[in-house]
Amino acid sequence: MAGKEDLKLLGSSVSLFEIRVRMALIVKGASYEYIEQDLFNRSELLRRSNLVHRKVPVLIHNGRPICESLIIVQYIDQALGRSTAQPAILPAVPYDRAIAIFWADYIDHKMLPDWLGIMRAKTSEGRLLKAKQSSAKMKLLQEEAFTKCSNGKAFFGGDSIGYLDLALGSYLVWFKTLRKFFGVEIIDAGNTPLLAAWAARFMETAVAKEVTPEEDRMVAHVKKVYVMAATSARL
C-alpha cells in the first residue's frame, strides 16, 4: 500500500463487526490508525462518518468513510489490490465470489437473528427454540457453504483465510460468551463436525489471535447489553 494512503478505523474492540474488518486489514498487511469508540456514547466523528446508522465500524480512506463491515471488507480487498504479497480475500472467479457474498449475507441476516434471540429470550423454551433454529441453519452452512467453498481444505477460502472465514470467524468469541451465559453451543461438533474443526483452526491463526478480545471483556460487554435490554423491556 502506498505511503500516501491514509487509513483510519473507527471501532470498538468488542464489536463483532469491527473484528472482521481488522482481520481483513491484517490479511492485507495494511497500516492504519485505530480510533476506539464508546458504543454507548458515540463520538462526533462517528456521527459525521456514518450519518445513516451512526455505528461502528467505519473505515476512513483518504478522508472518505466506508460503512457496514461486509462492504468494508470487500472494499479493503479491492482497494488494497490483489498480489502475492497481499492475498485476495474474495474469490477471483466471479461465480465463486457471488456465492461467498451470498453466504456472508445469510450469516448476518438469517443466522444472527437466532443468536440474538438466544440472548434476548425471556424463557428457557424460547432460548431452546432459537438454538434449534440456529442448529439447522448451521448444518446448512456446513453442507452448502463450507463443504463446497473449501473444496476439502482448511478454510472457507481454501488454503488461506477468505471472505466467509472472516464473516463467520468474527462471531466465534461471542459464541463462547453465549455458551458461558446460557449453556448453548452454537457450533456443535455433533451437529457440524466440519465447522467445529474449522472454528478450532481459525481461532489458532495469527489473524484471529491478534484481534480477538479477551473473553472477560466480551462477557462484561454482553452482560451490559443484556441488562440494558431487560431494563428497556420492563419500561
Examine residue 235 and state whether it is found in any structural domain, yes or no.
no
- Maximum alpha-carbon separation in the chain: 56
Q: Report which listed range, 102-111, 170-179, 220-229, is most confident.
A: 102-111
DSSP character string of 187-210: S-TTT-HHHHHHHHHHHTSHHHHH
**Could you tell me the residue range of the domain that residue 74 belongs to?**
7-79
**What SS3 class is residue 34?**
strand
Residue-level pLDDT at 39: 77
Examine residue 74 and state whether it is found in any structural domain, yes or no.
yes
Residue 2 has pLDDT above 80, yes or no: no
Residue-level pLDDT at 235: 33
CATH code, domain with 200: 1.20.1050.10
Radius of gyration of the chain (CA): 18
Residue-level pLDDT at 27: 94
Number of domains in the chain: 2
Q: Among 71-75, 111-115, 125-129, 225-229, which is the least confidently predicted range?
A: 225-229
Omega into 65 within 30° of 0, i.e. cis? no
Q: What value does the mean pLDDT take over residues 116-143?
A: 94
Residue-level pLDDT at 232: 47
Residue 13 has pLDDT above 90, yes or no: no
Residue-level pLDDT at 229: 56
Residue-level pLDDT at 1: 44
Residue-level pLDDT at 234: 42
Examine residue 85 and state whether it is found in any structural domain, yes or no.
no
**What SS3 class is residue 64?**
strand
This prediction's pTM: 0.91
Q: Which of 105, 133, 139, 106 is nearest to 118 (CA)?
A: 133
Choose between 226 and 200: higher pLDDT: 200
Q: Give whole-number Cα distances, 152 to 111, 122, 145, 156, 195, in Å.
A: 24, 40, 12, 9, 12
Q: How many angstroms separate the CA atoms of 27 and 209, rounded?
A: 13
Residue 119 has pLDDT above 80, yes or no: yes
Quick: pLDDT tens for 28-51: 999 999 999 987 788 999 999 998
Task: For the chain, give the mean pLDDT.
Answer: 90
CATH code, domain with 45: 3.40.30.10
Last residue of a domain, one of 50, 79, 108: 79
Residue-level pLDDT at 207: 96
| Termini Cα distance of the chain | 51
Examine residue 1 and state whether it is found in any structural domain, yes or no.
no
